[in-house]
Amino acid sequence: MTVGADHKTRARPALSVACMLEPGKLWNPYLRLLQGALGDAGVRYRSGIGFLWWGDYRLVHVHWPEAMARHRFAGGALLKSVLFVGALVVARLRGRKVVWTVHNLQTHEGAARPMLENLAWTVFQRAVSGVILLTAGAEAEFLTRYPRLADRPRAVIPHGHYRALASSGVDRAAARDRVGVAAGSAVITFFGLVRPYKGVRELIEAFREADITDSHLVIAGQTMGGPADPDFSRTIEQQIGASDRITGHLRRLSDEELSTLMAMTDLTVLPFRRVLNSGSVLFALSSNRPVCAPRLGALPEIQAQVGPEWLYLYDPPLTPEILKDALRWALEDRRGARPNLDAFDWGSIALAHRAFFGSVDSTDPE
């Protein structure tokens, strides 16, 4: 099934869906936008893990299950695992179906508590009734990693854009002045959660070694290490502090701050070591900013939809030469005022979700 859902779904009775995560508490506004669009499509989308225990719903929609058993303290991880597994068991005992939107194939930093996380994953996979993939190219990787889910219904429904949040009303000169960037400097930005797999250390090193003196690098987002890299945050802070041409805002940014960041940007660089899907790429494109990223995961599909004039792809790793060429491309390449993001329209995406939810709900009991 693809996004081309029948628009008659608007006339169907509302379908009640429970989501474990609360959109307002997430850095990524994806769920907030999805919830609003689903409401317009006739889906009552209720959030919070507590709702799964006593709420009235037909399906459970799960995002980022790899985070459901993770916590910095062992007691917190145990509590989260019990709540996660318990909610799934209660939902299945009540005859409710579980749909998983696959943002990632696995946790990015490795298992902090392998036995606990493996148990939660085992229960979760057995509970899944249907799967939503964000790109067609992700299907082969998904089936290789999760062969036991090969017989579950699947749909390809893309990640939506962020144009409703990406303001274009911020003054470029004022935005640069807040950071102390010279008027003639080119500005390269990285934003999102600053995690080891996203290649931020490599970006900083490539920037420092590249021969692009009239430029400034801004790293924005909360740092998050992992069990394999406990000193990650400290290392990033030290790298940023070693250059007066690099500015760090190592915390969660508000929507307004993100708009200010995009206003000053000439090029967004997202040098993932590995990636399946990326909301950050779509946010930058929604802000009408060209993006440089590796030729991995869903990114070639996104490039095919928005055009190579908006998304510069390279074969990793990121080098000073690649960074210099990408900045030249961003500053010189002629492109329109904004990329075509019709393929990521929330109205079509919500209708496709509604149709898939309905088809999974109507399948025979497992």
Rounded Cα gap, residues 331 and 263, in angstroms: 15
Rounded Cα gap, residues 359 and 213, in angstroms: 56
Tell me: the pLDDT tens digits for 294-343?
999 999 999 999 999 999 999 999 999 999 999 999 998 789 989 999 99
Strand partners, 61: 19, 99
* Confidence check: pLDDT of 291 > 90: yes
What's the confidence (pLDDT) of residue 168? 65
Do 246 and 204 contact (CB within 8 A), yes or no? Answer: yes
Do 121 and 85 contact (CB within 8 A), yes or no? Answer: no
Strand partners, 137: none
Q: Are residues 103 and 141 in the same domain?
A: yes
Q: Is residue 2 part of a domain?
A: no
Tell me: the pLDDT tens digits for 20-37?
887 766 767 899 999 999
Question: What is the DSSP annotation of 143-155?
Answer: HHH-GGGTTS-EE
Do 35 and 23 contact (CB within 8 A), yes or no? Answer: yes
Q: Are residues 219 and 146 in the same domain?
A: no
Question: What is the DSSP annotation of 334-350?
Answer: ---SS---GGG-HHHHH
Chain center to CA of 320? 26
Q: Is residue 215 part of a domain?
A: yes
What percent of the chain clears pLDDT 70, i.e. is strictly above it?
A: 92
Q: Is residue 294 part of a domain?
A: yes
What's the confidence (pLDDT) of residue 228? 63
Strand partners, 249: 220
Q: CA neighbours within 13 Å on the CB side: how many for 239?
A: 21
Q: Is residue 56 part of a domain?
A: yes
Tell me: the pLDDT tens digits for 33-71?
999 999 999 999 998 777 888 889 999 999 998 877 776
Q: Are residues 91 and 37 in the same domain?
A: yes
Q: Are residues 322 and 214 in the same domain?
A: yes
Q: Are residues 102 and 177 in the same domain?
A: no
What's the confidence (pLDDT) of residue 73? 78
What's the confidence (pLDDT) of residue 1? 52
Q: Is residue 167 part of a domain?
A: no
> Looking up tokens 């995560």, which residue turns up?
21
Rounded Cα gap, residues 286 and 258, in angstroms: 12
| Residue 232 belongs to domain spanning | 172-342
Cis peptide before 23 (omega within 30 of 0): no
Nearest partner of 322 among 313, 334, 310, judged by Cα: 313
Split into its structural domains, the chain has a count of: 2
Rounded Cα gap, residues 315 and 295, in angstroms: 6
Q: Are residues 60 and 121 in the same domain?
A: yes
What's the confidence (pLDDT) of residue 4? 45
> What is the C-alpha radius of gyration for the chain, rounded to an integer number of angstroms?
21
What's the confidence (pLDDT) of residue 81? 85
What's the confidence (pLDDT) of residue 363? 84
Q: Are residues 190 and 99 in the same domain?
A: no
Tell me: the pLDDT tens digits for 225-256?
766 677 899 999 999 999 999 999 999 988 88
What percent of the chain clears pLDDT 90, i.e. is strictly above it?
A: 63
> Which segments of the chain does DSSP mark as H helices, in order?
30-40, 51-54, 74-93, 114-127, 138-145, 172-179, 200-209, 232-241, 255-264, 279-286, 299-306, 320-332, 346-361
- N-terminal to C-terminal alpha carbon distance within the chain: 21
Token code pair at residue 148: 């036991």
Q: Are residues 48 and 93 in the same domain?
A: yes
Strand partners, 62: 100
Q: Are residues 93 and 136 in the same domain?
A: yes
Cα 1 to Cα 132, 151, 255, distances in angstroms: 9, 14, 33
* Confidence check: pLDDT of 6 > 50: no
Provide the whole-model pTM. Answer: 0.90
Q: Residue 108 belongs to a domain with what CATH number? A: 3.40.50.2000
Round the average pLDDT of the chain to a whole number and report it.
Answer: 89
Q: Are residues 141 and 31 in the same domain?
A: yes
Tell me: the pLDDT tens digits for 177-223?
887 788 789 999 999 999 999 999 999 999 999 988 899 999 999 99
Q: Are residues 354 and 287 in the same domain?
A: no
Q: Indicate the pairing of strand 97-102 with strand 59-63.
A: parallel
Which DSSP helix (H) or strand (E) runs through 161? none
Nearest partner of 271 among 338, 226, 332, 207, judged by Cα: 207
Q: Is residue 1 part of a domain?
A: no
Nearest partner of 163 among 33, 4, 330, judged by Cα: 33
CA-CA-CA-CA torsion sign (290, 292, 293, 298):
positive
Q: Are residues 263 and 337 in the same domain?
A: yes
Q: CA neighbours within 13 Å on the CB side: how many for 359?
A: 17
